[in-house]
């Protein structure tokens, strides 16, 4: 089924009050057209209609006139910039056709996500893990050697 046919069915579903079915149809289209801004805005409108501000903020994030309450709900649900950027499910950076406000919002999020990824980890758990694994392997090797020695001594003791 083509995109225009699915959108026609979405419109029919919404006229009948079948928002869940409309959400499913739009979700299937979004998988095949992840950077389509019109689909994102339609999806945000459906979520807005049912009162799901988090998802409305997620799918309306790239809208020029995205309501602040929805964007705040999206940010509360995905506190990490890396998680928010991933939740947008974009294949192109930045998406084409963004207005100036949406582009600034997107670029700001992308910059915060890059900064979050660069934060160094100050824990020494890697070194501790290395010592524990090495000690465990040495213990296994020691037990294997003792077992082998005991087995050989037992077999040789029985033979002679």
Q: Which domain holds residue 146?
A: 127-160
Question: With contact defined as beta carbons under 8 Å apart, do 34 and 91 qualify?
Answer: yes
Residue 5, Cβ neighbours under 10 Å: how many? Answer: 10
Q: In the prediction, which pLDDT does 123 show?
A: 60
Provide mean pLDDT across the span 96-119: 90
Kindly state whether residues 28 and 107 are assigned to the same domain. yes
Q: How many helices (H) and strands (E) does the chain have?
A: 8, 0
Please indicate, yes or no, whether residues 72 and 133 belong to a single structural domain of this protein.
no
Report the domain count for the chain: 2
Clarify whether residues 104 and 154 are in a common domain.
no
Both tokens of 115, joined, read 């900064």
What's the whole-model pTM score? 0.69
Q: What is the pLDDT of residues 59-78, one digit of tens each?
A: 999 999 999 999 999 999 99
């Amino acid at each position: 089924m083509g995109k225009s046919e699915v959108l026609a069915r979405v419109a029919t579903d919404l006229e009948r009050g079948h928002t869940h079915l409309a959400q499913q149809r739009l979700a299937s289209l979004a998988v095949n057209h992840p950077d389509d801004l019109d689909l994102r805005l339609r999806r945000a409108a459906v979520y807005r209609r049912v009162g799901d501000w988090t998802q409305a903020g997620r799918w309306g994030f790239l809208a020029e006139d995205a309501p602040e309450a929805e964007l705040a709900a999206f940010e509360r649900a995905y506190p990490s910039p890396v998680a928010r950027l991933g939740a947008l499910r974009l294949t192109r950076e930045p998406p084409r056709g963004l207005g100036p406000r949406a582009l600034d919002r997107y670029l700001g999020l992308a910059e915060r996500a890059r900064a979050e990824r660069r934060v160094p980890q100050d824990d020494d758990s890697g070194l501790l893990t290395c010592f524990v694994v090495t000690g465990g392997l040495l213990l296994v090797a020691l037990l294997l050697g003792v077992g082998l020695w005991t087995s050989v001594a037992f077999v040789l003791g029985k033979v002679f």
